[in-house]
Amino acid sequence: MIETNSISITEDALLYQVECPLRSNGLASLPESPVLSCSKSTCRWLISEIAVGRQPTANQTREYYDWAWQRTKFFQSRDIIPQKDYNRHLIEGVRACSRLREIIWKSEILRPVSPYELTIDGTGITGEYAVLRSSHRKRQASVLYLRYGGIKIRPIIPDIVSFARWLHVSNLSEAREWGLDRIGVKHYWVSQYLAADHHPEQSLAVGVVHGAIGVVSRPAFPVVGEHCLSCPTRTCNPSTSAARALCPDEPSILL
């Protein structure tokens, strides 16, 4: 299963393309909520501070979040964003800081936010994650997976990021030294009071990741056409050039 990789893709880019194979994988940057982006940055900083023995206060946590916030395109475009929408994101940021402190302070940090690469079928999936152990359940730990949006439904529908991180941590040599009976992925929504654990089976995780790799490794889907109008999600936006090249007689798909 493990081979020398010839293709490398980030977990976020893989998720973005697996959600709809018509999406371009050549984007300079992927769409992401500014609240989630700042939460990831703040989580990385907060865990690194605690790992070296410092105890950042709530105010210091918020100051770091605000520092990251002011560097987002969302903040820099605030003059053209409806005030109601902008204020909603600000409130979500306050809640995100509280949520991050809540889960990190209640846990033991087994692994700070660190990069990983999972190589399967010649393709390397890259990303980063931290591993936390609950102060109440010493024999269990979780890979932290920050989420945004979502609704309160059960059970959760895990995505490729969850499977890839779990598969990687399951084969991590240092994990054997943690004395665990079980390790899963903690889906943790930063702007809602919502969290769920994902404990996949080994065979299922391998199958899901193999399938996702197949989507990005095969030739691009040449199927842009009139059928795009009946897509139930309408979440992808085929490029104008690709649509014109593949469907010159269907200008309606470009609307």
How confident is residue 22, by pLDDT bands cut at 50, 70 and 90? low
Residues in CB range of 157: below 8 A, 6 or more apart = none
Could you read off the pLDDT of 24-53 as tens digits, one per residue? 555 545 678 999 999 999 999 999 999 999
- One-letter amino acid identity for 22? L
Residues 199, 80: Cα–Cα separation, whole Å = 43
Token code pair at residue 112: 């700070």
pLDDT digits (tens, 9 = 90+) for 83-140: 999 999 999 999 999 999 999 998 999 999 999 999 988 889 999 999 999 888 889 9
**Boundaries of every domain in the chain:** 1-23+107-221, 32-105, 225-255
- The whole-angstrom separation of Cα 202 and Cα 179 is 19
Chain centroid to Cα 153, Å, comes to 19
Judge whether residue 236 has pLDDT over 60: no
Which of 255, 229, 233 is closest to 244 using CA atoms?
A: 255
Contact 240, 254 (CB under 8 A): yes
Beta bridge partners of 147: 189
Q: What is the SS3 assignment for 72?
A: coil
- Specify the 3-state DSSP secondary structure of 152: coil
pTM: 0.81
pLDDT at 118: 95
